[in-house]
């Protein structure tokens, strides 16, 4: 074989792996979770063939099944991969001193949250220096309408990007006026206890990129009564200032 022929020879890949990523990419591009039939239609692959891939994805926690409507969405394993990649992401690297500043100036547990296909997720956290602290675990997903972080994203994000989450819930939870206030005041808060949501009180402020699109949310959480949520309170003013400083440095 001549050198020119060797150069023209293309290495063979693993076609089944290419098909697997094609299925995942199809799910990623969808604005909503997909059923088996929808995945089959969009990929132009038979349902029986797609099902074999999905069985493996479920075993590996790459996908999760919503048993209410039998749709599939990304699972925790992909979140693990994503968080590993995000270790080198600019905002996560830059957030370290700002989270530490929150701890120094407010002595409250804090978190950096970003938006994913399945809603907000905490990607970095810092405990308070007190003997007892409400901790926010990395990978925790704040509820969209029952957490300060979730409502902050809803208030400031492009509505088209969260349409599937907000079509009915904004009316269901009667959040119209509250979302207007969040945009006007530049922060959201929660001072009620909800099952599965850490802490009894929380404040969240948006972090914007160079184009003034929300890219993340800085939040603090504490025990009921430990944080004042009034617009002029120290906690609100400090957190707004720190979030603004982080935005300017992106």
The per-residue pLDDT for range 154-198, each reduced to its tens digit, is 999 988 777 766 655 555 666 778 889 999 999 999 987 776 677
Where exactly are the structural domains of the chain? 12-74, 83-248
Please give the CATH number for the structural domain made up of 83-248. Answer: 3.30.450.40
Element (H, E) at 194: none
Cα gap 34→45, rounded to integer Å: 14
| Percentage of the chain exceeding pLDDT 70 | 86
- Of 19-33, 74-88, 135-149, give the range with the top mean pLDDT: 19-33
Cα gap 107→85, rounded to integer Å: 29
pLDDT of amino acid 114:
92
Give the mean pLDDT of 217-236: 91
Mean pLDDT of the chain: 85
Asked, colleague to colleague, whether 12-74 and 83-248 share their fold, the answer is: no
- 207 within 8 A of 243, measured Cβ to Cβ: yes
Residue whose entry in the numeric block shows the structure tokens 């996908």: 63
pTM of the entire predicted model:
0.64
Q: What is the DSSP secondary structure assignment for residue 46, as one 8-state letter?
A: -
Assigned CATH topology for domain 12-74: Arc Repressor Mutant, subunit A (1.10.10)
Asked if pLDDT for residue 211 goes beyond 90, the answer is no
pLDDT of amino acid 12:
67
**For the chain, what is the radius of gyration of the CA atoms?**
22
pLDDT of amino acid 9:
55
Summarised one tens digit per residue, pLDDT across range 26-61 is 999 988 899 999 999 999 999 999 999 999 999 999
Strand, helix or coil at 217?
Answer: strand
> Half-sphere exposure of residue 168, counting CA atoms within 13 Å on the CB side?
0
Strand, helix or coil at 2?
Answer: coil
Sequence-distant (6+) residues with CB within 8 A of 190 are 146, 147, 148, 151, 197, 201, 202
Cα gap 175→178, rounded to integer Å: 5
Give the mean pLDDT of 201-216: 92
- 58 within 8 A of 65, measured Cβ to Cβ: yes
């Amino acid at each position: 074989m001549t050198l020119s022929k060797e150069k023209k020879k293309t290495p063979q890949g693993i076609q089944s792996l290419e098909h697997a990523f094609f299925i995942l990419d199809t799910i990623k591009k969808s604005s909503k979770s997909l059923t088996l039939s929808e995945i089959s239609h969009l990929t132009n692959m038979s349902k029986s063939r797609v099902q074999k891939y999905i069985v493996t994805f479920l075993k590996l926690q790459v996908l999760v099944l919503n048993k209410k409507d039998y749709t599939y969405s990304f699972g925790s394993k992909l979140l693990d991969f994503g968080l590993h990649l995000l270790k080198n992401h600019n905002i996560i690297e830059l957030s370290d001193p700002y989270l530490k500043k929150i701890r120094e100036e407010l002595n409250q547990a804090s978190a950096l949250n970003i938006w994913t296909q399945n809603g907000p997720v905490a990607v970095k956290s810092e405990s308070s220096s007190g003997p007892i602290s409400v901790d926010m675990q990395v990978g925790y997903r704040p509820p969209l309408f029952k957490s300060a972080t979730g409502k902050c994203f809803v208030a400031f994000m492009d509505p088209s990007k969260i349409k599937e989450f907000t079509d009915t819930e904004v009316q269901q939870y009667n959040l119209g006026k509250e979302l207007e206030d969040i945009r006007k005041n530049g922060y959201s808060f929660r001072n009620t206890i909800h099952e599965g949501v850490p802490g009894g009180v929380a404040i969240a402020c948006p972090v914007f990129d160079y184009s003034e699109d929300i890219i993340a949310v800085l939040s603090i959480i504490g025990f009921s009564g430990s944080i004042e949520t009034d617009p002029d309170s120290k906690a609100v003013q400090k957190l707004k200032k720190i979030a603004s400083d982080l935005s300017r440095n992106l």
